[in-house]
Each structure stands twice: as C-alpha cells, then as structure tokens.
Amino acid sequence: MIGYAGTGYKGIQINAGEKTIEGDIFKAFVEAGAISKANANDPKKSSLVRCARTDKGVHAAGNLISLKLIIEDPDIVQKINQNLPDQIRVWGFERTNGGFSCYQSCDSRWYEYLIPTYSFLPPHPQSYLGEKLMEFATANNYLEEYQELQSDVKTFWKEALETYVKPVLDKLDPEMREDVLLATFKEGECADTITTLKAVSNADEVDSAPKEPSLQEDPSSKHEKSEEGPSESDKISENCRDTSSNKEIIKKDMESQTNENIKIEPTKTSFSPLEIAIKEVRSAYIAAKKQYRISRRRQDRVQEALSNYIGTHNFHNYTVRKNYSDPSAKRVIKSFDINTNPIIINDTEWLSMKVHGQSFMMHQIRKMVGMAALVVRCGTPMMRISESYGPQKISIPKAPGLGLLLERPVFATYNQRAVTELGREKIDFDKYRTEIDEFKQREIYDRIFREEEQDHQFHSFFHHIDQHKSDYFMWVTAGGITAARTGPANGIDRSLQDESEDEANANGEEG
C-alpha cells in the first residue's frame, strides 16, 4: 500500500528512461533488501502489477501494487521509506493468495478533484468564446435563458475591471497603455478587440494571461530586443497581423503554461517597463479571480452537472483511442459529489469533488471535470452531457492534472473472501489513516495549493480555452454539437485535449 505526490513524475507505471513512481519504489525495494539481487534488474520477475494507473502529475493518497517481496525484516517498511523521497511513502504490506492481482481484484476506485471556484466564472464577454456564446444564444433564441444562468455573476467582469485592472492602466501613459493592450490581446482576436478598446478608451478589458517573462518560451514566440530594431509595440502589432505566427505563439504559450511541470528560465536581472505593465495587468485579473466566491446557486449547478455522470454510460468522448462502438468505453459511475463547504487557501476558494467509479479510462476524470466546468461557466444546457454519450465525436478538454488525487481503491469482494476463505487480513487503508491524512495534507494538498499559487494553471487552462479561435469547442454554445467541428482536432494543444505521447498506453486505461 503506497501514497505519492505525482509532481515531477511521468505517472506511476515504469517506463524505461522516464522518472516514474514505480521506478523509484522498485529501486527502494532493492536498496532495502525486499527484492532479491537476481530480480533487481527486471520488475517483471517480481510480478509487479499496479491497481490504478495514474497519469503524469497525478497524486494518490492510497494506491496498491502487488508483487513478490522479501519482508521478513520487521523494519522493512521503515528501510524502504528511507530510500524514498518525502513525496512517496509505503504504508504497509498485506500477504495475499498466490494468484492475487491488485488490478483484477479491485472492485472500484475513489478519486478526489480539487478546483478553484473561479474556474466556474463565465468567459470574459470580449473573449472569443464569450462572444460566440452570445452570438449562438441570440441566433438560437436562448439569450434570455443564458443570461438567467449567468445572473449571479453578471457584474463580475465589470467590477474586476474597475477595481483591479483600471488602476493599473491609469498609471500608464497613453502610448504604454496601448502597447499593454496590444500585448494583452495578442492571443485573442487582436485587430477587432484593439479597435474596440481604442474606441471605448479604458472602458472594457478582456481577461488575459500573457506569459510570465521568466517562463521558458520558444525563441520564435519571444519579442527580441534590439536598439535598432522595431519597437515592442510594432512587434506585437505584427504578431496580430500575422495569423500563422500568432497561432504558433498561442501553441507555444499554451504548451509552456498548461504543462504540469513548467520549466523556469534563469531569473532575469531586470524587466522592461512594458513587461512590468503586462505582468501587472495579468496579476490584476488573477487577483480579481481569486476574490471570487461561488454562490450556492452555482454550486447546485456544478452538482447537477456531476450527477449527470452517475450510472452506466458510453464515455468514448472522455478518453483516447476509444470508439463509440467499443464495449470497453462503457463505464459505471457510482457517485460524483461536491463538498458544499468550499475552503479558502491563499485567498483562493477551492471546491472538492469526489467520484466513485468501478474503473476509469485514461483522462476520463479530468475530461469529466472539464466538461462539467464548461457546461456551468458557459451556461450550456445540461442535456449536452447526455448528448456526449452518443456516437458524435466531440473535443472535450481535460482539466489540469494538478487537482486530481486517487483517494483509495476498494477491495470489498476480495476482503470478504480473504477473511472467510483465505485466512488473510483485509486490504484496509484505514489502518494507516493518521499517517495518510498527514501525508495528504503536507505532500498533496499543500503542494496543489502552492503550485496553483505560483503557476496559476487553472487560470491559464480556462483562459486558453476562452481565447482559442476554433469551432472545436462550439458544442458549449446554444448551437449544440452540430456547431462544433468533428474529427481529429488538429492545431489544438494536447494539454487541452488528448494525451501526450509519453502518457498513452495501448488500452487507454487509467484505473
């Protein structure tokens, strides 16, 4: 029985040349003498099997691996943990029957997902998606219902502008303000939005998240500085005019900001006034979002969305490499509930969701969360979730892996047999509840909160969806699934949609 924080690891499953949870655990077994030297070079010789396969960056308070171990030493658990980093722990062992497979014997799994409540705010009305929502609502006689669904947050963006963003813009001279706005909207519909902004002069602002100057960027997406070259304003304007260049900038920016393991450049000694201003505008919008507190009405709508998953459904749209006709795409969800008492950490309000299912396919939970969040924030009819179980293929972005946590696997059937027939102990994580809870708080929860505070992954994730100029996600609008482009979503960043090449396995299974 094990627990781990997945940050910095390419998932649990051993993969040659990659840093994985199982890889480090197996090495610790060898160092502690729990694996014989004859089997030390190949985990397969020890019949290593995992209960639930977790992806890159995903955490687990309780998971199980089954294998042959030498555990006569009474201090073997302590010795193993001494050879592991603090973010990986072995809780204990249970002897099982010879034919036991933790994957086959697992009845169900509990997962938790933590998400900032600002994730349920609607797209900024001047973002690409925000404008499309209004356009389709008007064209499909859905405007009144759409506005009613967003009534509890109808003043949020205006208040954010007045309270947080406008004070930053007011400090700038007109030329600098224009440059900041140009940079701010380089990911959106640059020309149209800039024209509007010039006309209203400080009235409305679009939410944006320009890259931190310290984040690693592709050289092609940077604005190189030169004493004799064009100004920053000229270069940003050129990016807006050059569609192909702009798409590449968006792609690189999305890759750098939504990756669970963001790489940081060496700290710059100084920033230009323009860079500082852009950073301040970005920070202002993030600060505004952090102050948002979800209403009970919006919480109820989140719960309504999650309840639509309960039962047996065809989740082919919620994973990879599965067709509608594939029988394995049908999965059972036993429950999916929110904790109605959000918590506030570092001024940000968080909502906990717990899902209990028989088994899950790769990315299924993250895509379920992504779908639910989009339905709520976009005022989408709830029937869209039911429609997603049909044969039509749609693109559902997967929510950040940062918030996903495997709570524990359940072995009810095996445990009954272990006691009544096998004379073995139950597989029971509750025996280690004190240690697990302390570990979960220190290594998982605190890590999630800390990384979001530093990297703003949820802000970046939803911002990129809102600014992505494509019709792949138009199923969220009143136009329905027919309004969305089908087929392979070429050009959409993998972090918004499907698996990374180094994450996929042959069956698309997760746990």
Domain ranges in the chain are 2-105, 113-153+295-407+451-496
Average pLDDT, the chain: 83
Per-residue confidence band for 454, with pLDDT thresholds at 50, 70 and 90: very high
Q: Please say if the pLDDT value at position 190 is more than 50.
A: no
Find out whether 439 and 3 touch, Cβ atoms under 8 Å.
Answer: yes
Find out whether 240 and 197 touch, Cβ atoms under 8 Å.
Answer: no
Instruction: Establish whether 170 is a catalytic residue.
Output: no
Q: How much of the chain, in percent, has pLDDT values that exceed 70?
A: 77
pLDDT digits (tens, 9 = 90+) for 306-320: 999 999 999 999 999
Task: Give the pLDDT of residue 176.
Answer: 87
pLDDT digits (tens, 9 = 90+) for 254-289: 444 444 443 444 555 678 888 888 889 889 999 999
Q: Compare 493 and 263 and report the one with higher pLDDT.
A: 493
Half-sphere exposure of 335 (CA within 13 A, CB side): 10
Neighbours of 483 (CB within 10 A): 17
Task: Give the pLDDT of residue 273.
Answer: 86
Task: Give the pLDDT of residue 496.
Answer: 60
Find out whether 509 and 410 touch, Cβ atoms under 8 Å.
Answer: no
Sign, CA torsion 288/289/290/293: positive
Q: Please say if the pLDDT value at position 197 is more than 80.
A: no
Task: Give the pLDDT of residue 498.
Answer: 54
Task: Give the pLDDT of residue 250.
Answer: 38
Identical fold between 2-105 and 113-153+295-407+451-496: yes
Whole-angstrom distance, CA of residue 291 vs CA of residue 444:
23
Neighbours of 340 (CB within 10 A): 12
Residue 19, Ramachandran bin (φ over 0: left; ψ between -120 and 50: alpha; else beta): beta
Helix axes 232-241, 190-200, angle to 10 degrees: 130
Mean pLDDT of 108-117: 97
Whole-angstrom distance, CA of residue 355 vs CA of residue 189:
38
Per-residue confidence band for 178, with pLDDT thresholds at 50, 70 and 90: confident
Neighbours of 262 (CB within 10 A): 17
Mean pLDDT of 334-343: 97
CA distances from 111 to 95, 185, 243, 360, 409 (A): 25, 37, 41, 10, 9
Per-residue confidence band for 340, with pLDDT thresholds at 50, 70 and 90: very high
Lowest mean pLDDT across 169-173, 234-238, 325-329, 484-488: 234-238
Q: Which residues contact 88 (CB under 8 A, 6 or more apart)?
A: 2, 3, 4, 5, 21, 24, 25
Q: Please say if the pLDDT value at position 415 is more than 80.
A: yes
Q: Please say if the pLDDT value at position 332 is more than 80.
A: yes
Strands 404-410 and 59-63 come out as: parallel
Find out whether 465 and 489 touch, Cβ atoms under 8 Å.
Answer: no
Whole-angstrom distance, CA of residue 404 vs CA of residue 417:
31
Mean pLDDT of 317-337: 96
3-state secondary structure of 314: strand
Q: Compare 256 and 134 and report the one with higher pLDDT.
A: 134
Find out whether 423 and 49 touch, Cβ atoms under 8 Å.
Answer: no
Q: What is the DSSP letter of 361?
A: B
| Element containing residue 348 per DSSP (H, E) | strand 348-357
Tokens of 190: 């640059």
Whole-angstrom distance, CA of residue 399 vs CA of residue 57:
12
Find out whether 81 and 32 touch, Cβ atoms under 8 Å.
Answer: no
Architecture of domain 2-105: 2-Layer Sandwich (3.30)
Whole-angstrom distance, CA of residue 365 vs CA of residue 113:
9
Architecture of domain 113-153+295-407+451-496: 2-Layer Sandwich (3.30)
Find out whether 97 and 424 touch, Cβ atoms under 8 Å.
Answer: yes
Whole-angstrom distance, CA of residue 340 vs CA of residue 317:
28
Q: Which among 450, 459, 315 is positioned nearest to 373, based on CA atoms?
A: 459
Find out whether 382 and 389 touch, Cβ atoms under 8 Å.
Answer: no
Find out whether 410 and 379 touch, Cβ atoms under 8 Å.
Answer: no
Residue with tokens 């691996």, as numbered in its chain: 65
pTM of this prediction exceeds 0.95: no
Q: Whole-angstrom distance between the N-terminal and C-terminal Cα of the chain?
A: 15
Lowest mean pLDDT across 68-77, 197-206, 367-376: 197-206
pLDDT digits (tens, 9 = 90+) for 71-111: 899 999 999 999 999 999 999 999 998 888 899 999 999 99
Task: Give the pLDDT of residue 83.
Answer: 97
Q: Active-site residue among 24, 42, 55, 192?
A: 55
Q: What is the DSSP string of 187-236?
A: TS-HHHHHHHHHHHSSS------PPPTTB---GGGS----SSS--HHHHH
Is 292 annotated in some ligand binding site?
A: no
Q: What is the DSSP string of 63-131?
A: E-EE------STTHHHHHHHTS-TTEEE-------TT--HHHH--EEEEEEEEEGGGGSPPPTTSHHHH
Task: Give the pLDDT of residue 261.
Answer: 42
